[in-house]
Chain A
Amino acid sequence: MKIDQDARYSDEHEWVRAEGDLFVYGISDFAQDQLSDIVYLEPPEVGDVFEKGDAIGVVESVKAAADLYLPIGGEIVEVNEALVDAPEVMNSDPYGEAWIVKFKASDAGEFEGLMSAGDYQKYAEEAHE
Chain B
Amino acid sequence: MSKSVVVSLVCALMICGGCASMGVEPWERDVLARDEMQLTTDPVEAALDDHIYFSKEASSGGRGFGGGGCGCN
Whether chain B is bound by chain A comes out as no
Question: Which A residues contact B (CB, under 8 angstroms)?
Answer: none
